[in-house]
Amino acid sequence: MISRRSPADGAPPGVPELVGAPISRRAVLIALTGAASTVLLGCSAGNDGGDGGYQFTEPTPAATVLPAKLRAPAPSFSGELLDRTPFSSKSLDGDIVLINFWGSWCTPCRVETPELQAVYTDVADRGVQFLGIDVKDERQLAAAFVETVGATYASLFDPRGEVALTFRGFPANVVPSTILLDRQGRVAAVYTGQVSGGDVRTAIGLLLDEGTP
């Protein structure tokens, strides 16, 4: 006979501990897969895993971008914006994109975000999109932050930090961080830590100068 024990008795949360009758390895894998499915809610990612997709190796020097031949496709992802509007990274296709990971609790973000907003205001009509990724945060606090700093570009609400994990090897614990994508959806730069508006403006200018495909 099979009995269930509570997590306090030793089973991981959401995974029943089975005792008594012997069970197959397949049954264990099914149980673990089911438990993982209940955890991965909210943002979702495309499967760009081992198919030549992006793999982080090191930060890009400030105000520079990677040579085109070294760029790899960015993963796809989706989720919900701070205003609860559904979002898909497909809406970024064909544009130069700045992705900025931030949080209302992040002190450097309070300096960085207004500078990013100033750049966004200048380049938004030139085929450039900005997307904030709000991580490890509460929606109400994040919305208040956006209003306070005057950011007008959209931000994805990602309290579990799942989007950063889709960029393989990306240091998800470093906030703020910024990723630049070229018009082909490839990762052109990764800046870890606070960036300046001047450096971002220079890097975006380099991508704009590459022209359209």
pLDDT in tens, 191-212: 999 999 999 999 999 999 997 6
| Bigger pLDDT: 213 vs 39 | 213
For the record, the structure tokens of 22 come out as 């012997």
* pLDDT at position 113: 99
For the chain, what is the radius of gyration of the CA atoms? 20
Looking at the fold, whether 61 and 153 belong to one and the same domain comes out as yes
Average pLDDT over residues 60-64: 97
Query: If DSSP codes are grouped into helix, strand and coil, which group holds residue 184?
Result: coil
Average pLDDT over residues 48-73: 86
Using the predicted structure, report yes or no on whether residue 116 has a pLDDT greater than 80.
Answer: yes
Residue 203's alpha-carbon distances to 12, 115, 130, 147, in angstroms, are 46, 14, 14, 27
Q: What domain range includes position 51?
A: 44-209
* pLDDT at position 47: 41
CATH number at residue 132: 3.40.30.10
For the record, the structure tokens of 165 come out as 């994990």
Looking at the fold, whether 90 and 167 belong to one and the same domain comes out as yes
Read off the pTM.
0.77
Cα distance between residue 24 and residue 144, in whole Å: 51
Whole-number percent of the chain with pLDDT over 90: 74
Sign of CA dihedral 135, 140, 146, 152: positive
* pLDDT at position 136: 97
Looking at the fold, whether 159 and 127 belong to one and the same domain comes out as yes
Cα distance between residue 68 and residue 74, in whole Å: 13
Q: Give the number of domains in the chain.
A: 2
